[in-house]
Each structure stands twice: as structure tokens, then as C-alpha cells.
Amino acid sequence: STISDGTYLISTLKNSNYPLDVTDASSSNEANIQLWSSNKTQAQQFNVSHDSKGYVTFTNVKSGKVLDVRNGTVQNGANVWQYTSNGTKAQKWIVQKNGSAYTITSALNSNYVLDLSEGKVRSGGNIQIYQSNGTDAQKWTFTKFDSMEQKLDELAENNISTISDGTYLISTLKNSNY
């Protein structure tokens, strides 16, 4: 329950204007996950969902593929890419509150977390797993992203009782004859 299901931009704590991004907005397996300057495209939007045990899966909105540790390798610098969901631990994560941000731990090994390679914030900065060291390169923020449809649904729901069902003459404020 640390983070609720929904669609998010997941950014480095070092600069919230740099969220996770699928390279070239690809829909292919093995497309790299990187940081990129925020453009709020679907390549930067991830659906967060929890399984019955509480593990989190991050599914890219554009591709429908999930964050995956390349070949399930547990070592410093193991690359993170997207891949078709297969339910393995390489695709499962544990999100923990860490001060004002979150740490995203790999289900492969509790000592390894999502990490910004070299800790450098730049478009194209690689995402990997690395042994937890508590640096800001391993801390992430989640910004809820609501699509236009979700925003309109919420607006409609919040205004459901604004006007009762019935027949009305609708006119402008300037001239009630029109």
C-alpha cells in the first residue's frame, strides 16, 4: 500500500523533470529503459499494479511491456529494459517509502535496487539495478498521471448533482432570448 495502483511518471529524486522512458518509444522486447527530459508521452507513463503478495509490476502505457532486469541477472550494472510480461521475479519489484521519495527493490534480490547509472541526470541516462547504497541515484518519485479521459470522468463524477434530469431551455447569460 506504499504506492497505489495507477498510472505514474516515475522520476529520479535528483531531478523530477527526468522520468523513466522507453528508448525511442519502442514497443519491442529488450528496448532500453532510460531517463529522458519530461514530455509526458506514453513512453514515460507506467501503470503500477500489485499482485496478491504485494509485488509491483510496472507496465509501460505505450508498449504494454513491463520493466524487466535483463536476463534476470543479479549484479551491479545489470540493465533494465522492457519485456513481455512473464511473471518472473525479474519483472517484480518492491516499492518502499524512503524519506520524501521511494526505493524500488528488485524481487530477484533484496540488496539490489533500481539505479540511475553513474548517478548522472541527463536524457539517455541508463537505468540498471545496483546494490543499495542509499544515494539519490536510487531514489524515485511517483507523479500520478491522469489521462484526459480520466480527468473528464472525474470532472463528470464531481458534478453529477449540479443539474437535475429534466427538460431545459438553455440560453446565454448575455441574452436570455437566445
Q: In tens digits, what is the pLDDT along the chain, a chain of 178 residues? A: 689 999 999 999 999 999 999 999 999 999 999 999 999 999 999 999 999 999 999 999 999 999 999 999 999 999 999 999 999 999 999 999 999 999 999 999 999 999 999 999 999 999 999 999 999 999 999 999 876 777 777 778 888 888 889 898 888 887 766 6
Q: Which amino acid is at 24?
A: D
Q: For residue 169, give the C-alpha cell.
A: 431551455
| Separation CA 28–CA 47 (nearest Å) | 17
Torsion region of 118: left, alpha or beta (phi above 0 gives left; psi -120 to 50 gives alpha):
left
* pTM, to two decimals: 0.83
